[in-house]
Structure 1
Amino acid sequence: MSNDTLQIRRIGIDTYHENVAYLNRECAIYRAEGFQALSKIKVCANGAKVLAVLNVVDDSSIVLPGELGLSEQAFNQLNIAEKALVTVEHAEAPESMDAVRRKINGERLSQEDFDSITKDIVDTRYSKMEMAAFLVATGQNNLDRDELLYLTRAMLESGERMNWHEALVADKHCIGGIPGNRTSMLVVPIVAAHGMLIPKTSSRAITSPAGTADTMEVLAEVNLQPEHLHDIVRQYRGCLAWGGTAKLAPVDDLLISVERPLGIDSQGQMVASILSKKLAAGSSHLLIDIPVGPTAKVRYMRQALALRKLFEFVGDRLNLHLEVMITDGRQPIGLGIGPVLEARDIMKVLENNPDAPFDLRQKSLQLAGRIIEFDPDVRGGQGYAIARDILDSGRAMAKMNDLIQAQGAKPIDLTPGTLCHEVLSEQDGVVTHIDNFQMAKIARIAGAPMDKKAGVDLLKKLGDKVHEGEPIYRIHAEFPADFKFAQKLAVGDSGYTIGNEEHILKPLVPFY
């Protein structure tokens, strides 16, 4: 081994969307080059290269002085064998950081600026600290609508795009914040049974108790390779899959890896994230669901209307037929919060079970009906009736079974976690308020979505009468530690308010 090369050592650390390299403090190259911890280095081998953030190690059991350790992400990206020889050198700072600094100082950025920034992020030239600076600089109301368009377009062009070779490719997206709101798993089979193309690629939960992919994974495989996904969609007119394998707008995934831990969730970034992903997935017609409620992401009608205008402005200029539905976000949708409990609700609706959650059924029919009205052969106002007939006739259930089998059916067990705690009402009255955020937090602390059977099973909804000592919901968990923490959280704040009927907050929108 020459004096200017190092042996690769695979360090089994998942650094989540960030390349990290490890050098021993006694390494001759480290000392000669004057590297510093958290600086960026370039690692080269056989024509391949990766940029990585440097960590300095004092423990030789982790990495020896003649070795360069790489995190899992960096090792996989470099794609060479362990112990192969590499060279390291200082990495040049990304030129586009000048644009970020200009934005921090209040300047307006151009399309070229956003193109340069997103390219450097995808090429891993940005550390997470630098991405955080970009997110803060463009967060809140720091992007005008033209800059938002530029950012969306740049994110769209950062990865691959699907082309379904059809004039009408439908999709839907909810901006989130409402537990149990698993309408996509009903909308997709209804719309696909109507004959429209609706390839639904969904995310996994990051801070919520379940995403569509987490819940669908209870029933079927969701990690589908693009070729397999295409075959399923061609044959069955739809899918319910995880979108992570398709490399759609990859800069969005990198930015999300920084946004979530920091709790950054600006409207501009959200619009760009959603629309870039949907356009990359080949959508031509998109329905956006914006729930409004006191503990939803959007709490006031004026916010919802402003957000709708942003979606419509960007969608129109990117040739996306886009409609927005503002819906009731006062409480969770359905009864279950967590993958297995939500899958149970979905199957009850599809089976036309009389115990199926009425609000989940009705909201799904409203959304599916609006999407069906994208069909030029369907007159406005007819969509809901068509959707209802498809569901009532069993055609939606048959389509869901087709998708489950095609994606890879799993042994279905819809029984929740065996550790169970009932939360009781402390007084007589009616349910006047349910805190979406608190209910989601309890379900997540209980183990959802990692533990599929964990979550919260709601026994009472807004307006329901309760008596002192009567159960209002059940907490389910699979592991004692999670169970204990969730119980403690519910004791501190149950998430429910019991009072008089006149105190029930009226819905801001007349929906279902």
Structure 2
Amino acid sequence: MQVGTLFYIVGPSGVGKDTLISGAMAMLAGTGRYVQTKRVITRPAAIGEDHEPASTAAFDAMCADGAFLHHWGAHELRYGLRRTLLEDLAAGRNVLANGSRRALPDLAGTVDRLVVVEITASPALLAERLARRGRESADEIAARIAREVPPLPRTGDLVRIVNDGGVDEAVAALVAALERMASRLVLKRMPVTSARRHTAFLAEDCTAVNASAYAGSGRIEIRSTARPAVPADLMLIEPGNGLDGDEVGLSREAFEKLGLPEGALVSIDRTPSPSSRALLRRKIGGGALDTEEYATLFREIVEQRYPEGETAAFLVKAIQSLDDEETIAVAKARCGFSPRIDWGVPIVVDKHSLGGVPGSRITPIIVPIVAAAGLLMPKTSSRAITSASGTADTMEALCRIDLDGGQIREVVRKTGGCIAWNGKLNHSILDDVVNAVTRPLGLDSNQWSVASILSKKWSAGATHVVIDLPFGPRAKLKSQTEAEKLGRLFEVVGAGLGLIVKAFATDGSKVIGRGLGPSLELRDVLAVLDNAPQASRALRDKALFYAANILHFAGHAPTLDAAREAAEDILLSGEARHRLDAIAAAQGNVSQVAPARLSRSVGAHAAGTIGGIDGWHLGGIARRAGAPHDKSAGVDVLVEPGRQVEAGQPLYTIYASDIASLEEAAAEASREPGVAIAMAQEDALQWTIAGQGAL
């Protein structure tokens, strides 16, 4: 196949074709890859462009001898392109030819690689340029411009250059287009799979582009006129090992993403853009970026324009060096990746907990209270990552949670609230890319987390957000001071996004509910909503605290005491339980999951007083039993600190669906029970602590 490309440049008289071609050749001639072919014209040499003059008889004779690859007539003149230009194309040189749009169909099939370049300009500029040329009267110029021009036929690829501004600008645009289209390569599917990262391959002796120069950039972008560009890592292949000099190979995933057949012509560009790389280098060097600059970098990272090493270097620096102003900038930039939901009301409330407290399943209590009070609370929650259950896992033991945006809107319209999985509504492709880099490296920061959390709340349409920040020896936040500092950051960044945020530092040193695992935590939630005597007082109090604060700061109650009274009235009346039932029905009821059929109790090794319960260790035992994947698995805590127990008395019960999981969990409990017991011996207290970090 020919390597050279014929660039057939068309446009109306006066548009500046000759000027742009001359300017482009001045820039490209030194490469040795471009030539301009002279037209044979039946016009004297002294008139118009630099051409090869010929008489009509001579022109006819050349036609008869087959000297022309392509010829046409216009404006009572004859024009021709000599067949010798095929020699340049065969040698790999790209040929620029000034042509005619009306004659374009006759050119079809004569060359392997044809690109039509259409130069356009406004009618006023055309008239001005034609008048300066002095060949036609004003009436003739007006008639020429008014002449209806048929659309370009679909022959080859098409590039349009607008020559309405400065000549230098138009020449630069033309050169960029020529370079892009001249370096096109033949697409080939490689028998290689590259998983998430797309990969492209060039032969080291590639004849169309300088392969080593492109390899130095690390990333390229594969383009065609028919499909969106696909970024890919670039690898070079030794000559003679599966790729010709004018081919580009794509891994299976990249080939399927591009969606073109083998043999299609594609162009490649270096990526990312120089301006984007300058931003990345500034941040890595310790500089600050604004919202628009972060948005640019995030977009190019999501589009995989950077090698993973450069992405990681940027994220390391960004995550570790954000001040308040930059945290707001990151949050705003992240908001651009998801459209904001408009709920059609002035107040939409939401809640987020930093987590870290076993059994603190307050959201399924808060949402129905707040919704029953008349506020909208479309709550989306996550599944557990390291704990025995997340809010989404617990709700999944009662109803469907995998709702899309339309389904969530319908549930909220009917009930005033929802408790759904955030994977479909709040999913961010930016998080996918960032997490793939940061999680293996253990990278995290409060600033980065705050920007991520609040940008999702903004996208979900929230106007008022409460933040639960538990602190304690085993929680994510170790001290009240640390929690209060983070709370201030949440409030500052929230204000930067136009949200009203109120954060609370809460005691996270103790287990809140009895159950650890989806079905057992759901049981605790329903006990509170049913006002059952055995309901966890700590779980009830914490849920009412946040429900009251939501009602108060959203303007639903004049004082916090009045808000607490209103929330408790809704709970005591049964309205909250009815509202949760309505939400579950709207989301799609499932058979409520009960604790698993297999169980084993873990007893006290001696008589004494319960000193502390390591809920984090018990959560690990629950995970060994199968939670949260198995909604029926978990640990049911039967004692509380300060309670007297006898030797052998059950401290907690492990539930599992299969004997192997039960035995594994029981073995872990045997090694480290996770409960501290104080025994009275010789008028002194001897503490026996089972499990690390017991509280």
Normalised TM-score (structure 1): 0.82
| Bigger mean CA deviation after superposition, 461-470 or 221-230 | 461-470
Q: Does 1:335 align with 2:517?
A: no
Partner Cα separation in structure 2 for residue 146 and residue 454 of structure 1:
45
Q: Pick from 395, 411, 415 the counterpart of residue 575 of structure 2.
A: 395
Indicate the SS of the match to 2:400: coil
Indicate the SS of the match to 2:452: helix
User: Residue 463 of structure 2 corresponds to which residue in structure 1?
Assistant: 284
User: Residue 183 of structure 1 corresponds to which residue in structure 2?
Assistant: 362
CA deviation vs aligned residue, 1:398-447 (integer Å, no higher than 9, x gap): 1111111111111222223x443433333333333333433333333333
Equivalent residue runs for 1:310-329 within 5 Å: 310-329=489-508
User: Residue 20 of structure 1 corresponds to which residue in structure 2?
Assistant: 197
CA deviation vs aligned residue, 1:337-389 (integer Å, no higher than 9, x gap): 22222122222222222222222122111111111113434121111221111
Q: Does 1:136 align with 2:316?
A: yes
Aligned-pair CA distance for 1:85? 7.5
Aligned-pair CA distance for 1:126? 4.7
Partner Cα separation in structure 2 for residue 113 and residue 390 of structure 1:
48
Partner Cα separation in structure 2 for residue 471 and residue 86 of structure 1:
73
Aligned-pair CA distance for 1:161? 1.1
User: Residue 41 of structure 2 corresponds to which residue in structure 1?
Assistant: none
Aligned-pair CA distance for 1:41? 5.5
Partner Cα separation in structure 2 for residue 327 and residue 468 of structure 1:
34
Aligned 8 A contact 2:185 2:265 in 1: no
Q: Which structure ranks higher in relative contact order (CA pairs < 8 Å, sequence separation ≥ 6)?
A: 1
Q: Does 1:117 align with 2:294?
A: no
Aligned 8 A contact 1:368 1:384 in 2: yes
Indicate the SS of the match to 2:553: coil
Aligned-pair CA distance for 1:284? 0.6
Q: CA RMSD in A?
A: 3.7
Aligned in 2, Cα 1:208/1:102: closer, same or farther, shift over 3 Å?
farther
Q: Does 1:467 align with 2:646?
A: yes
User: Residue 618 of structure 2 corresponds to which residue in structure 1?
Assistant: 439
Partner Cα separation in structure 1 for residue 281 and residue 656 of structure 2:
47
Aligned-pair CA distance for 1:473? 2.1
Aligned-pair CA distance for 1:52? 4.7
Aligned in 2, Cα 1:436/1:80: closer, same or farther, shift over 3 Å?
farther
Q: Does 1:5 align with 2:187?
A: yes
Q: Does 1:165 align with 2:344?
A: yes
Aligned in 2, Cα 1:100/1:434: closer, same or farther, shift over 3 Å?
farther
User: Residue 174 of structure 1 corresponds to which residue in structure 2?
Assistant: 353
Aligned-pair CA distance for 1:272? 1.0
Aligned 8 A contact 1:155 1:252 in 2: no
User: Residue 510 of structure 1 corresponds to which residue in structure 2?
Assistant: none
Aligned 8 A contact 1:6 1:87 in 2: no
Q: Does 1:364 align with 2:537?
A: no
Aligned-pair CA distance for 1:304? 1.2
What code does the residue aligned with 1:409 have?
N
Aligned-pair CA distance for 1:176? 1.0
Aligned-pair CA distance for 1:313? 1.4
User: Residue 495 of structure 1 corresponds to which residue in structure 2?
Assistant: 674
Aligned-pair CA distance for 1:86? 9.4
User: Residue 221 of structure 1 corresponds to which residue in structure 2?
Assistant: 400
User: Residue 236 of structure 1 corresponds to which residue in structure 2?
Assistant: 415
User: Residue 60 of structure 1 corresponds to which residue in structure 2?
Assistant: none
Aligned-pair CA distance for 1:238? 0.8
Aligned in 2, Cα 1:129/1:362: closer, same or farther, shift over 3 Å?
farther
CA deviation vs aligned residue, 1:265-298 (integer Å, no higher than 9, x gap): 3211121111111111111111111111111111
Q: Does 1:69 align with 2:249?
A: no
**Higher gyration radius (CA):** 2
Indicate the SS of the match to 2:571: helix
Aligned 8 A contact 2:595 2:655 in 1: no
Equivalent residue runs for 1:375-414 within 5 Å: 375-380=554-559, 381-414=561-594
Aligned in 2, Cα 1:223/1:461: closer, same or farther, shift over 3 Å?
same
Equivalent residue runs for 1:42-53 within 5 Å: 42=221, 46-52=226-232
Aligned 8 A contact 1:9 1:83 in 2: no
User: Residue 64 of structure 2 corresponds to which residue in structure 1?
Assistant: none
Number of positions where the alignment pairs a residue of Structure 1 with one of Structure 2: 483
What code does the residue aligned with 1:70 have?
E
Indicate the SS of the match to 2:502: strand
Indicate the SS of the match to 2:379: strand
Aligned in 2, Cα 1:163/1:470: closer, same or farther, shift over 3 Å?
same
Q: Please, which runs of 5 or more residues in structure 2 have no aligned partner?
A: 2-183, 238-247, 688-695
User: Residue 456 of structure 1 corresponds to which residue in structure 2?
Assistant: 635
CA deviation vs aligned residue, 1:188-219 (integer Å, no higher than 9, x gap): 11100111011112222223332222221221
Q: Please, which runs of 5 or more residues in structure 1 have no aligned partner?
A: 58-64, 505-512
Indicate the SS of the match to 1:223: coil
What code does the residue aligned with 2:186 have?
D
User: Residue 55 of structure 2 corresponds to which residue in structure 1?
Assistant: none
Partner Cα separation in structure 2 for residue 333 and residue 79 of structure 1:
52
User: Residue 192 of structure 1 corresponds to which residue in structure 2?
Assistant: 371
Aligned 8 A contact 1:161 1:248 in 2: no
Aligned 8 A contact 1:175 1:290 in 2: yes
Aligned 8 A contact 1:290 1:324 in 2: yes
Aligned-pair CA distance for 1:91? 5.7
Q: Does 1:348 align with 2:527?
A: yes
CA deviation vs aligned residue, 1:105-142 (integer Å, no higher than 9, x gap): 433333343222222233333565544433322335x2
Partner Cα separation in structure 2 for residue 261 and residue 466 of structure 1:
44
Aligned in 2, Cα 1:5/1:225: closer, same or farther, shift over 3 Å?
same
Partner Cα separation in structure 2 for residue 492 and residue 84 of structure 1:
64
Partner Cα separation in structure 1 for residue 264 and residue 627 of structure 2:
43
Aligned-pair CA distance for 1:324? 1.4
Partner Cα separation in structure 2 for residue 178 and residue 85 of structure 1:
57
Equivalent residue runs for 1:257-272 within 5 Å: 257-272=436-451
Partner Cα separation in structure 2 for residue 31 and residue 483 of structure 1:
62
| Bigger mean CA deviation after superposition, 423-432 or 317-326 | 423-432
Aligned 8 A contact 2:187 2:263 in 1: no
Aligned in 2, Cα 1:430/1:80: closer, same or farther, shift over 3 Å?
farther
Partner Cα separation in structure 1 for residue 635 and residue 265 of structure 2:
51
Partner Cα separation in structure 1 for residue 660 and residue 198 of structure 2:
34
Aligned in 2, Cα 1:29/1:294: closer, same or farther, shift over 3 Å?
same
